[in-house]
Every structure is written in C-alpha cells, then in structure tokens.
Structure 1
Amino acid sequence: MLPIDEVLAPLNQALTLRPNAVLVAPPGSGKTTRVPLAMLEAPWLNGRKIVMLEPRRLAARSVAGYMAKLRGEKVGDSIGYRVKHDTKVSAHTRIEVITEGVLTRMLQQDPSLDGIGAVLFDEFHERSLHSDLGLALCLQSQSLFREDLRLLIMSATMDAESASALLGDAPVVTGEGRMFPVETRHLPRRAGVRVEDAVVTAVQQALAQDEGDVLAFLPGAAEIRRAQAGLSGVSPGVRVLPLYGSLPQAAQEAAIAPAKPGERKVVLATSIAETSLTVDGVRIVVDGGTMRVPRFSPRTGMTRLETVPVSRASADQRRGRAGRTAPGICYRLWTEQEDLRLEPRSTPEVLEADLAPLALALAAWGVADPDELSWLDPPPAPAYAQARALLRRLGALTEAGAITPHGHRMAELGLHPRLAHMLLRAQEMGWSRQACDLAALLRERDIVRYDRSVPNVDVMKRASILQEARQWRGELPESLGGLRVDSALCRRIITEADHLIRMLRSSQAQSNQSEKEQAYTGDVGVMLGWAYPDRIAQLRSSGRFTLANGRGAAMEAGQALAYDRYIVAVDLDDQGVESRIYLAASLSLEHIEEHFQTDIRHEEIMEWDNSARAVRARKRLLLGGLLLKETPMENPDPERVLTVLMEGIRLNGLDMLSWKRPERQMQERMQFMHKVNPEQWPDASEAGLLDNLETWLGPHAYGMKSRSDLQKIPLTEALADLISYEQRVELNHMVPTHMTLPSGSRVPLDYSNPDQPVLAARLQELFGWKETPRIGGGRVPLTIHLLSPAQRPVQVTQDLASFWKTAYYEVRKDLKGRYPKHYWPDNPLEAPATSRTRPKA
C-alpha cells in the first residue's frame, strides 16, 4: 500500500461533487500511477478515457509501462501513451499518458475532447508553457462544451491555493508521503571550479564513503558528457550513464533500469530526473545546484539557454530522489547560506519563453487575446505582441489578427512556427527533403564536436554532413566533411528528418508533389531566411553584420562566412551591443529579391543632402532595417523636389540664396514698410521669408535641385512677388533706394535697421542742407552718419539743424587740424557742398 491510497476515496468523492480538484502529495507517495487507475471505475467517468499529462517523454513511457505492469497487461492495452514519434494505444485503451504538446493538438482537432472524461495534469509545478496552455484550453472547453469534463491538477510542491482559485475554488486534497530519511551534506563549489568538475569530485567521494547508486544533477548535456569523461574508470564495477531528453530511448531506459548484481550505477542527469521517474537503486543524490532554462528576450526576439540556480522546490524534489526506496544522502554543492537564499519556485515558462507557438495555438483555437482564457500567470503583453507580429510576418495571421489557411497548416505540423513556415514554403518549391533536414538539425544540439578549435558556423556544412551520413550503412566515422561529428546524434537527426518528411506529406498541408521533391537542391540560406526573416543580415565590415531587426551581430575571425555580403544568422546570443553568431548560412542578394518579395519594401526617398547642398531622389529596396539597393530616381516629381528643396533652405537659412546688395536692400526696404504698416505689408525679415518660402521663392525655384541652382534666382524679382504693383510704386515713392545730396552725389540708403534708416555721407557733401531729410511720406527722419574725408563717422544725428548750430564747430576744429587741405567753412549753411577737397572756384 502506498501513502496516496489513503486519499483516493476523498479524491474520487471530490470529483463526484465538483468538476475540478487539486491534489498535493509529496514525491514517492504514488500519485502518478495510483490516481488514474483508481478513477477508472468512477461513476462520473462513465466509461470514458482518462488523459494524463506528463512533462517529459521518458516519464510518460515509464509511467504507462508501470501502470500496465500493475494490471498485468502490455502497454497499449488499457494503458497506453502518446509521445513525440511514439504512440502505443489501441481501441481498448482507457488511460493515455501523453506529453503536453499532444494535448494541445488534441484540443485543436476536437475542442470538446469527445470521449475523454478527465484530464490529469501531473507535476504541474513545473509550469511548462504547454501545461499552462493545455489547462487554459481545457478550462474553456469545459466552460463551453463539456460541463462533465473533470480536470485534476497534481503536484508535490505547487501553490495549491492559486491552482484551486483558477479551477473555480476547487477542493484541495492533500496526501502524505512515504519518504525515507535523507541526510543533507553541503560541499560548496569553490569559485572558478566548473560545476561538472565539482560533481565529479562529489561523486567520487560518495562512491568511496556511501552505499547505493548515485544520481547526479547537472544543467545540460555538455556538462554531462564532460562529467562522464571525468568519471571514466572511476572504480571497478561502476557504470556511468547519462540521462537527458535528447538521448535515444534505449539509453534513457538503461539509465533508469536497476543496476546489475554486484554493480553500482552513477546516473548523470538533467532536470529530467527530478520528478515522476524512479531511478532504481539510487540512495545518493549529488545536486550541482543549477539548471538550464530558455529565456526569451522581447528586446531582440531571440531565445537563449541560461544556466540559473535551482529553486527551493526543485532542490527538494532532487533531494527526495535519494529517499524513495531506502534512507539516503544528498550532497548539495552550495553553502547553507546560499541554500537559504534559493527562490521558492522556478519562474513559469510562460513568463520567459518565446510565445510564438502559444500565439499560433491560440489563433488556431480562435482566440486573439489571451485574456479571453483563464491563466495562473497570463502571457506578458509585450512578448505576446511580438509573437503575433512574427506570425503576421510568417503569413500565419492577417493584419487584422485572424489566422490564415497557411497559419492553420503551420499549427497542424506541431513545430515552432518558424520551422513550420519553412517546411511549407520549401514544399511549394519541391525542397521538402532538405528543409526537413534543416528543421531536424535546428531542433537538436550541434552535431559538430569541438575541442579548442574555432567553431565552424556554417549550417550548409552541417547539411552536407547529414547528407553524407545518409550514404553510410552501419557505424558512422568520427569525422565527416572534415569535421568531428557526434555520429549517434547524426543518426537521430536523420530519423527525426525522416519523420518530418512523412508528417509533411501526410498532413493536410500536402500539396501536389513535384518531380524534384526528392532532390537535395534547395538553397539553405533561402530556407533558413524563410524561418528567420528577422535575422537576415548584411555585412558591415569583416565578420560584423547588421540584422534585419536592427541588431548588430558578429562571428569569430577565420570564418568563411565572415566576408559574405548577406547571411542568415540562425543561432546567436543576445548579449551586449552585438550578438555572437553561432550558426549561419550564406544568402545572395539575388535570392533575397526572388524569395522575399513580400518582406521587401520599395521606397522612393527624397531628402535634403546637407553635405552636397542638394536634393537627393533615390529608389530603395529595404528588408527590415537593411538597405539592399539604392539607385537614383529617374524623373522625380518636381513638386516633391520643390518641397524638399524648401526644407533644405529652411535648414540652412536664406544664405543658401545669392544675396547681393540690391537684393538685400530690397528685403530691408520691404521690412521697413512692414514695420510702418504690418497689416498691409508682408514680413520680410529672415523668419518671415522662411515661413513664406513657397509663395515668393517657390515659383522661381521650380525644377531646381541644389544650392548652385538657387544661386541663379533673381531675388529682387522674387521678393517683388510678395507685393502688388501698387505696393511696388508706393515702395519706390515712400522708401527710396538712394538720396541725392547737395553736392549732387546719389548715395544709397541703409535700411538694415528698419527702425533707423541710415544715410551715410561725407560732411562736406551736406553743406547747405538745413533740415534732416525724411522718408515714408515725411514720417521717418533718416539717421545721418556724418563722415570724415576718410569715410569715418565723426557724428551721428537725426537733427541736422541742431548739428550745424552747435556740434559742427567742435567737429570743424578737429577735422581742420587733421585734414588742413580740405574746405571747412565758418558758415556751413551758406557754403557750397562739394564732393571734392575744395569746391570749384
């Protein structure tokens, strides 16, 4: 009897009275295998199926196998499973253990889940994107179609209150566990020591001091492989086995199988072994304290795998693996102080993941706004908006946000939307085989192995390796295409690619197959560009690129692709200003123009080039933020040219025009009249003329493009266009350009200060002029600058009569001393004016 058996009756009673429930029971209590079996004969089930979600394929197969064994059956009879590429069910199957993505597809195909009486969400505390989505869709299905559908959330470490509230205040049933005591020992990892090296040391210590098999947790496959190498030959009779998600099924099953008599086992595992699985014989856990999680960056649109400390819940789950069958020991490779600072739970994937798959699933379901559904944590709005923008770019959604037929076909494939779009586009071209190879390659870790050499980033190289691997029968060599490869991974990727091609051909997306479908002739760069249009990149300098999304990216020196004009950067990080490129493929401009026409924007740019002081009219081809081509525009619209030309003048001021003294005086005379009568006369100041460029300058500048053209405009004529003929007559009468002096000289007037027009003349030429001359109909006196024979001002006055009476005699004394040859009469009002040194006799 298992501890969970004590609460099976209350649980069934809760589900009899209410449609939903929450079950909280510790690891080892038996909830995963006992609960589904106990529900089979419940009256509310009424002979329908039970579907139970497991987060991982290995756990799903293991759980189904164990329940079938309890019933004395083969898997596929009354107990079966559905996981990726592997299904064992029959017409008699009553309990199906499935992985979470399978539930999403089941709901999309049949929103009412006809024939299913209950959906169980096991290990829900892991909060994967698919589990949150599956629960949200099930809740809506229950609300709209299936009031009789039962939903049960099960976990050892989840927030039961939040789950209960989400399920409509569902009852919470709590079970007890049966854990053997586990001693915790802290072996802190020293600074600078890699986690795999610390794990190797701890495992060696545990094998020497303690009894039983060892389960060691590391963040990823790379660390596991290095730790496995470090434990090679650790001790006679000890087998070291890896356990991670991408391992072949046989290798995974070997890791969880009991050790042979007289043999000890060390299992090096990722978080895959935290829950649901019982690794037989384990009495020692070595916890490296870290885990690898995907983190999506809305800023860059990229996902990276990040190594983070485990949460308290994960650490407790791992520790519990040592006490499932006997007392155990847990080595934690961090300090007791660090242990106190662990986060209570891991961040739900929905808050940090790429939401494009979720957005596509919701669109296929008929939901545009995730707020229409019930969530424990709703998808973040910025990431969700970015996901829908990507789907629109891939043709999965219309601009209005409705799913397209292409989007439905993408959803049916069950792949990431980027890869689904790539496969469907490739199928149209007859490139399905190579596209499936690429999709399989991108869904796995790199097949190329590196020691200290510079990694080769070329995806085409990997596609060629995969093609070469297909020709081999039996074991693959360690080197293909001149590079060291993971032969087992190559075989698995080939198997995955073969599955994808079968799925593509059998899906509703199937189109008429062309004769060249089997040919391996597709362009790698084009296909990857279909999947990652935002990561098409243009060369800036050797090894440095600009992505279509505006980000910078760079690859290490020595790469052949470092000099290509265009690439597709498939895998890159989002650190710093420039992302580091890990995988890329070459792409030609010709292929971009041919295959990305819907992404390319055609622009006609007309702008002011301030360095050239001219209007530049160009035709541009742009892909996102990339300028693909720029050519001069033939016969640009002269009206648009004129508008830009006016902007250039406003930017640089009226000095762009050819101002000579007559033109400037014309402007100043008009501004003088504006000061006198602002309601009748236009503002001819610099600001006023700039504001009114189109009126007075536009007709003269029509057809011009540059400053050199503008220099040819007769500005006097242009300015005159601001006033009427009558105003021009009035201007000449009221504001003369020149004044005739008593000496007979004709002197220009200076209107640069419209408040004080100036007449500047030598004092001797004004003899006999009794009063200050006036303009503007006699209203405005001129300001007279009286000059010496050397044309230097000796007096400024607006009262000439007063000057003759008083100041003249002091000025005369000074000038007579400096200019003794000149004529300085005693009575300037009676003396003849002269422009010479002395008047003629």
Structure 2
Amino acid sequence: MTTPPHSPLPIDASIQAVRKALAAGGHVVLIAPPGAGKSTRLPLALVDEPWLAGKKIVLVLPRRLAALGAARRMANELGEGVGETVGHRVRFDTKVGQATRLEVVTDGVFTRMIADDPELAGIGCVMFDEVHERALAADLGLAFALEAQSALRPDLRLTAMSATVDGAKFQVLLEPHGGCQRIESDGSMFPVATHHEPSGLPAPQAVTEVALDALRRFDGDGLIFLPGQREIETACGLLREALGNQVAIHALYGAVTRSAQDEALRPDPSGRRKLVVASAIAETSITIPGVQFVVDSGLARRPIYDPVRGITRLETKPASRASIDQRRGRAGRTAPGDCIRLWRREEEGGRPAEDRPEILDADLAKLRLDMALWGALERTSLPFLDPPPESAWEQAGALLKSLGALDAKGAATAFGARMAKLPTHPRLAALLERANAGGKSDAAWAALLAGELNERGPLDGAERLRAALQDRRQAKALKTLHTRLLGRSEAKPPPNDAVLVHHLLHAYPDLIAKRDKDDGQRAIYKLAQGMQAGMETHHPLASEPFLLVLDLGGGRKSGAARVPDIRLALPLSEDQLRDGLGHLITRVETRTFDHATWSVRVRDETRIGALMLAADARPRRTGLNALSEIASHLRSKDLESLTARDKAAGALLSRHQAFHASRGESDALLTRLEAWLPTLLESGEAPPFPDNVLEKAWRAALDWEEAQAFDKQWPASVALGSDQRARIAYDHPAGPTISVRPQMLYGRDDHPTLGADQQPVLIELLSPAQRPIALTADLPAFWRKGWKDVRKDMRARHPKHDWPEEPWKGPTKQSKNRGS
C-alpha cells in the first residue's frame, strides 16, 4: 500500500525502530506525547509489514469519539473513505469491508471480539493506544491478549502506546510474553505559556469569564476543559449569551451526537473563531485544528464504585498532574499557545501525579462476568498490572450470582453468557434477557426501561423515568435502542408501578428490602444484600412490608451503626417478589443450639439473600438426635462450656487435657468428640455435668492402654505417706501442682512425678494459715537450700508449730509426742 505525501510528524523518527522490534517477533511499548502521530501515522506505516502476512492490525482506543476520529483521519490520509483500507468498530456502528486491513475499535468492542474469538483469527497485531489512562476495558483487553498470545497465538504482536513516561511498567508486563522493547518518541509541542488565574466562581461561570478575556488576549481558537456534561452545557449557554453568533460555540463530550462532534473538530465553515467546551475526552487521541489557547478548570469526573448504593457514581475531583499537562499541551499542537489554569500554582503539588487505574475504583461486575466466560475464575488469574481489589471482586460475584450469571463456584452460566453479549451493565443485561423470554411486549418495555437507566445511570431517577416514558420522542429513541439490542420493536402504553417493579426486580435483586424495625425516627429496612437502610416514619412508604430500593445515600446513626437513607423506592408485594425472583428463593433448615437446655431449635426458613420471608418451627432435637449440633457447638466454644460452673469437673478436664498433651494430642478430646459425646448424652444429664458423668464419657475416648497409663501415670492425687493423699491441680497456671503444709511432707526425701517421662509435680507449700510460702519442683534440693529461710520466717510467725532443721529426716521428737 502506498500512502500519499504527508507533513512530517515526530513519530516518523521512531517508525523504523518499531518496525524492527516487531519484525523480530517481540512486543513494543511506545511512549509518545499527544501530537506525535502514534495513533494515526504509526498504524498506517505498519500495514504492509511482511510479518503480518496479510493479517489485519487492530488499533484499540478507550473512547468512541477517539476511535471514530482516528479512523477518519487515517482514511483521509489515504484519500479513501472509512470502511475501505481503514475501518472502525464501535458500539452500534461498524464500517469494515473486504479490503479493510486496519480496524480501529473501542476497548469494549475489542474485549468482546477476543472473548468471541480468543485466537484473533486474521489479526496479526493489536495496538493498545492511551494505555496510560488505565481504562477498565483496556486493562482487561490487554490481559486477554497476553493470555491469547502465550497460549494460542505466539505470532501475535502487541503494542502498548502511552502518552506519559509510565510505559516502563507496561514493558515489565509484556516482557515475559515473548520479549518487549521500549521506544520513546519526542512530541510536537510548540512553546505554551502557562497562566494561573484562580477564581472563586463556580466552574462554568469561571471558565466563561476567563474565555471571554482570552478571546481578546490571544489568537486562534480556544479549548475549555470542564468535568462533565452539566457544567459544559451551562458554560456553552453562558458563552452563547455573551457572544451571540460572533464565535462558534461547541460542546464536546461522550453523549453528543456524531454530527455535533464532527462540527467541533472541524474549522468553522464561515471562518469564525471557535470555542470548544470539552470533557477529558479532548485530552488525548483527538485533534482540534486551530486551538491556540486552553482554559482549564482543573477538574475531572471519574467513575467511583459505591458499595453502599451498589452502583458506580461519578465523582468530581482535581485532575491529576499528568492530566493537566496533557490539557496544556493541546494549546501547542500547531503554533505557540497559552494555557490559563483556574487555580494557584502552589496547589499543583497537592494533585495526584496520575489518575488511579479504573480497576481499583470501578464496579467489577462486567469484568468478572467476562473473566468467568474466559475461564479465569480468580481475581489473580489474568496478567493485570493491578489485580482487581478483593472486596470489589467479591461484591461483583455476589451480584452476578443473584442475577443468575454465575453459578455457586463462580463459573458463568448459559444465561450469563447471553447477558455478556449485550453492551450494557450486567444488571440491565439481566433485565433485558429475562424480559426477552416474556414476549415482544415485555421485551420492548424492558428495553425502554434499560435505555433510560443506562442513560441516567443505574438506580438514578425512577421518577424521571416515568416522565420519560410518557415522552414520545424519548420513547422512540429508547425503542430504537431496544431494536438494536434485541431485535424487538413492539411496545404497549407506558407501564404502571407494578410493571416497573416487575422489570426492575431482575436488575436489582440485591436491593429488595424488608421492613425490620422502627428506631423511633425511621423505619429500618434490611436489604437482600445484607445491609440496612432507613426512611422517615412519616414517609408514605414507611409502613410497606417490602420495598424495591432505587436510591440510597446520606445516612445517620441507628443504634451503634450508621444506616443510609432510602431516597427513592417503589412498593413491592411479597407476591411480586416471589413471582419475579422465584429462582432466587431458597428453602433451608436452620438449627440453632440452645446452651441453656442443650437442645437444638429447628426451623424451616424461606429466604432470598439475607431476607427471611417465612419461618416454620419444628420440634426441638435433644440428646443423641442433636449430636452433630452439640458437637459443632463444643468445637466452636471449646470444652470449658461443659465445666464452667463446676470446680471438680474443671479439674477433671484439666487432668485429661494434660494427659493427652503429654502424648502429643493436646486437642484429643475435641478430635475424639464422636467417641465420647454419645456416652455423655446417654446419661440424661444436662450442664453443669457432674464430674463422675464426665469421667465416664471421657474414658470412652481412651483405649485399654491409654486408660491404664491415665490411671497410673496421671493420677487424681499423690500419696504423701501415713495414708494421706493430696489432690493434683492439673489446671494450675504453672502446671500440675499439689498444695500442702510442709508438715505433711516431713520425712520425705524424694519428689513426686507424673507420666512416663517423670514430669515433676509442682509442690506449693502452705503456711498454717493456708497461704503459699514456697513453690518447688525439687523437694530434696529445697529441703537443703531453701528451707532454712522459710523455717526462720515460719518459726517467728508460728512458733507453736514444728519447723525441724532437717525435715527430710522426719518431724522432731517433741512434735511426734504432741502429734502436730
């Protein structure tokens, strides 16, 4: 393919290096600032490379507008129309032909392409542009491509192109998959003077004021950055009011029509100066000829997943330093320019260096469904720069299971596979798929509903939804969406609340709510997902037993927890719930152990998620009939619950535990529960169990050899002589211990021991007042070394008692005669 002559671009100097690296079979990370030509000049320069062997190049861009613009510019450069050598695939719009060798697609479309055909048949190279933006779909598409290249297509070349210098981490990601070379290209920026002009006005008013002044101060057209549609439309209105028809005013954001986008990107046909008021969509990938000054509000709107409301909300925050630098560069694409920033210079250091990857903040429901269909069931299964956060991953899995898209193991169901083919959030895909099974009328109104929710944002605006459905023009537009999605085209008159609830249930099964209690100010509802929410008791819906919650926010304390407010909801009957979500209703037998009676309460419960719809009590289980529940209780609570109120039983437990620990089985009583618990239950006793009952039960867990060793080597007491015995306290903190007065040990010159390894029994010596005076594990040594000081103290305190100098020889003669 020969390309017409074209003006030089900075990327031209790097094209040969890219060609060489790809021809060697490796991958490329290309770092080139906006304006270098990486999105248009480079792909065209690679189309005729021999290693492609007639296969296509796919260029992946993160936004529809950028993809359409890039395809159009490359086709123009070839003197062709889109759909010939260069084609595009974006949502609901495909222009490719038999001769197409370079396809420009959005990241969402590419993810669907590779999911449908993991081998990427007929494709030789995939070029990911603007990877620094870290869009969720782009991260997923790159991960899929790396897996496909490693397992199925070792000949597939990948190129990751970034407008910022963070390309090194992409090189690390690509290197293990066949090698990767990093190539850097200079930009084409002319000098741009930066002016800081902070304003206390709201952003639309502030940029309007500055832009009007900039038109007088600077030449050329202007590009104004605002965070989103609402602010952009407000600023456009203010500018048109101030300028009339003297200057062309254009809005540029994702939702504007194709014709409006084209007008914003072209020079004004009547030669007027132009102001383009844009979102972050104009930072990269698109070229607006004639722009010589930029007015930057410094704000950006990013999608942030809100786990409380279960939706992704847009949050306005200061744009990152990388973002404001790219905006500034737009003023120097064709000539020296100026950038007016509406904040103080010293504030820039407090801005984040770059935008957070979307995967860290986004709703991961669609990503997890796509991964499940790929066969990647764990969040770390794919080669991501940043793996999905665990909490968001688990929340996505719970939602998808409630929608019927995943099974209990996290694998995709057949229903989930059909959902994934629809280019919308899984909530709305479930709504559409279930309605589609109900016939044309159901499917038509479900599509209208899904379109409104998709336009407004899930969970936002059920009241506006009703109004929208009455609007014929809106209904017609939504009906067109439905036709594109499911091929249906029939609809009856606008639905009532019951019909809305029927459809919405399929999209938001986790947000059905059951009235739980009244905290005095608010009715508190429990949601199927497990959390609580409340509404004022005087609200008309506050007495409803069930609600379908459409919006949550704010909140206040209810008891110790902060409970969000129900801002919008629809009444829901139990019949509607059972009819609409019968596939999610489970019936389970629950068993609850009652420690007071050592019985098990049994109930048959009908549940949906965390909500209990009904419960029927059954006869209690006792004795051997409750064996498994009692065993579970003892394992969770430990065995002290058997002996907590009985000293003798506690001592017996300590003895058995010490015996088993000496044999390397410290948990033997728990691991052998099934061997002795039946004996205990057959006794007919209830806690606190007498020690003789426990002794009989625990002996049932011993074999003959163990029983002999237990009695001989770990006795309940030790002999002291003269037919006296001392009980061994096996639960003493220091170990098995006897507590006796010294007089009971006079004449003894050995130390009592336990077990085969002759473990010494600790001897705690007591004064005549039964207070501890010494502790020893070696009685003969104590008599000869420690006794002297004890004897001296005790003789002074208790002179009437016998304190011999050599107690191992026995009591004194006088003591014997007195018998003390």
Matches within 5 A, 1:96-111: 96-111=103-118
1:591 partnered with 2:567: no
- 1:445 is matched with 456
Q: In structure 1, what is the equivalent of residue 445 of structure 2?
A: 434
Instruction: Kindly provide the amino acid, as one letter, of the partner of residue 188 in structure 2.
Output: R
The answer on 1:266 being equivalent to 2:275 is yes
How far apart are the structure 2 equivalents of 1:360 and 1:375?
16
Going from structure 1 to structure 2, the CA distance change for 1:233 and 1:148 (only over 3 Å counts) comes to same
Counterpart contact for 2:249–2:274, Cα < 8 Å: yes
Partner of 2:617: 633
Cα separation, partners in 2 of 1:285 and 1:618, compared to 1, 3 Å: same
CA deviations on 1:610-669 (whole Å, 9 max, x unpaired) are 99xx99876543333334345x6366667799999999xx9xxxxxxxxxxxxxxxxx9x
Preserved CA contact (<8 Å) 2:25 2:155: no
Could you tell me how far apart the structure 2 residues matched to 1:516 and 1:325 are? Answer: 52
TM-superposed CA distance for 1:500, in Å, is: 1.9
Q: Deviations over 1:454-490 (max 9, x none)?
A: xx9762x445434433xx4xxx5xxxxxxxxxx6xx6
- Distance in 1, Cα, partners of 2:26 & 2:628: 69
Instruction: State the match for 1:138 in structure 2.
Output: 145
Q: Give the aligned partner of residue 607 of structure 2.
A: 622
Structure 2 unmatched runs, 5+: 1-7, 557-561, 635-645, 653-678, 695-820
Aligned to 1:371, which of 351, 359, 380?
380
Change in CA separation of 1:251 and 1:584 when aligned onto 2, cut-off 3 Å:
farther
CA contact (8 A) 1:437 1:463 kept: no
Distance 1:299 1:559, change over 3 A: closer
Q: Which residue of 2 aligns with 1:391?
A: 400
**Equivalent position of 1:155 in the other structure:** 162
3-state DSSP of counterpart to 2:533: strand
Between structure 1 and structure 2, the one with the greater Rg is 1
- Closer, same or farther in 2 for the Cα pair 1:644/1:391, shift >3 Å? closer
Listed one character per residue, the Cα deviations across residues 754-811 of structure 1 (whole Å, up to 9, x for unaligned) are xxxxxxxxxxxxxxxxxxxxxxxxxxxxxxxxxxxxxxxxxxxxxxxxxxxxxxxxxx
Q: Residue type of the partner of 2:503?
A: M
Paired residues for 1:616-695 under 5 Å: 620-630=605-615, 633=617, 695=683
RMSD of aligned residue pairs (Cα, Å): 4.2
Q: 1:523 aligns with which of 493, 499, 504?
A: 499
Give the stretch that moved more between structures: 302-311 or 67-76: 302-311
Distance 2:629 2:25 in 1: 75
Query: Cα deviations across residues 283-317 of structure 1 (Å, max 9, x unaligned)?
Result: 12111111111122457644322212111111111
8 Å CA contact 1:604, 1:633 repeated in 2: no
Does 2:50 correspond to 1:77? Answer: no
Partner of 2:61: 54
Work out the CA distance in 2 between the residues paired with 1:591 and 1:100. Answer: 39
1:548 counterpart (528, 540, 550): 528
1:229 Cα deviation (Å)?
3.1
Q: How many residues align?
A: 636
Check 1:458–1:375 CA distance in 2 against 1; reply closer, same or farther (3 A cut).
closer
2:190 counterpart residue number: 180
Q: What's the CA shift for 1:600?
A: 2.8
Pair 1:284 & 2:293 matched: yes
Aligned-partner residue type, residue 422 of structure 1? L
> How do 1:493-572 and structure 2 match up within 5 A?
493-502=478-487, 523-539=499-515, 545-554=525-534, 561=541, 564-572=544-552
- Equivalent pairs: percent with the same residue? 42
2:328 is the alignment partner of 1:331: no
More off after superposition, 224-233 vs 163-172: 224-233
Whether the 8 Å contact between 1:526 and 1:587 is mirrored in structure 2 is: no
SS at match of 1:50: strand
1:170 and 2:180 aligned:
yes
SS of residue paired to 2:396: helix
Question: In 2 relative to 1, CA 583–175 (structure 1 residues): closer, same or farther, beyond 3 Å?
Answer: farther
Q: Quick check: 1:259–1:281 contact (8 Å CA) kept in 2?
A: no
Per-residue deviation at 1:81? 0.4
Query: Do residues 196 (structure 1) and 196 (structure 2) align?
Result: no
Contact kept, 8 Å, 1:50 with 1:116, in 2: the verdict is yes
**CA distance in structure 1 between the aligned counterparts of 2:611 and 2:420, rounded to whole angstroms:** 30
Q: Deviations over 1:436-464 (max 9, x none)?
A: 122211111279xxxxxxxx9762x4454
Asked whether the 8 Å contact 2:624–2:682 carries over to 1, the reply is no
Amino acid at match of 1:184: T
Going from structure 1 to structure 2, the CA distance change for 1:559 and 1:102 (only over 3 Å counts) comes to farther
CA positional deviation for 1:14: 1.3
Give the whole-Å Cα distance in 2 for the aligned partners of 1:28 and 1:575. Answer: 47
2:231 paired residue number: 223
Superposition pairs of residues 785-796 of structure 1, within 5 angstroms? none
Give the residue type in structure 1 aligned to 2:225: F
Question: CA separation in 2, counterparts of 1:645 and 1:405?
Answer: 38
CA–CA separation in structure 2 for the residues paired with 1:609 and 1:224: 64
Q: What secondary structure does 1:385 align onto?
A: helix
* Unmatched runs of 5 consecutive residues or more in structure 1: 448-455, 477-486, 506-514, 651-667, 676-690, 700-717, 723-841
Is the 2:447–2:478 Cα contact (8 Å) retained in structure 1? no
- Give me the whole-angstrom Cα distance separating, in 1, the residues matched to 2:628 and 2:127: 67
**Whole-Å Cα distance in 2 between the matches of residues 129 and 115 of structure 1?**
26
* C-alpha distance in 2 between matches for 1:558 and 1:68: 63
Q: TM-score, normalised by structure 1?
A: 0.68
- Counterpart Cα distance in 1 of 2:492 and 2:241: 49
* 1:214 Cα deviation from its structure 2 partner: 1.9
CA–CA distance in 2 between the matches of 1:183 and 1:254?
A: 28
The corresponding residue for 1:41 is: 48
Shift in Å at residue 601 of structure 1? 3.8
**Which among 381, 406, 414 is matched to residue 405 of structure 1?**
414
What residue identity is the alignment partner of 1:82?
Answer: R
> Where does residue 465 of structure 1 map in the other structure?
467
Equivalent pair of 2:601/2:620 in contact (CA under 8 Å): no
Q: Does the aligned pair in 1 maintain the 2:192–2:337 contact within 8 Å?
A: yes
Of residues 6, 10, 19, the one that matches 1:3 is: 10
Partners of 1:302 and 1:445 in 2: how far apart? Answer: 12
SS in 2 for 1:65: helix
Match of 1:23 among 9, 25, 30: 30
Q: Contact (CA 8 Å) 2:9, 2:36: kept in 1 or not?
A: yes
SS in structure 1 of the partner of residue 421 of structure 2: helix
Mapped partners of 1:78, 1:583: distance in 2: 51
Within the candidate set 228, 237, 249, 1:240 is matched to 249
Q: What secondary structure sits across from 1:413 in the alignment?
A: coil
Amino acid at match of 2:412: I
TM-score when normalising by structure 2:
0.69
**Alignment partner of 1:423 is 2:432:** yes
SS state at 1:242 partner: strand
Match of 1:429, SS? coil
Between the aligned partners of 1:491 and 1:278, the Cα distance in structure 2 is 34
How far residue 569 of structure 1 moved from its aligned partner, in angstroms, is 2.4
How far apart, in 2, do the equivalents of 1:446 and 1:18 lie? 44
In 2, Cα distance between the equivalents of 1:575 and 1:212? 50
Cα displacement (A) at 1:580: 4.7
| Cα shift readout 1:141-200 (whole Å, capped 9, x = no counterpart) | 11111111111111211412111111115111111111111111111233xx42223222
Query: Aligned in 2, Cα 1:184/1:423: closer, same or farther, shift over 3 Å?
Result: same
**Partner SS for 1:31:** coil
Q: Please name the residue that 2:668 is paired with.
A: none
Q: 1:47 to 1:384 in 2, by over 3 A?
A: same
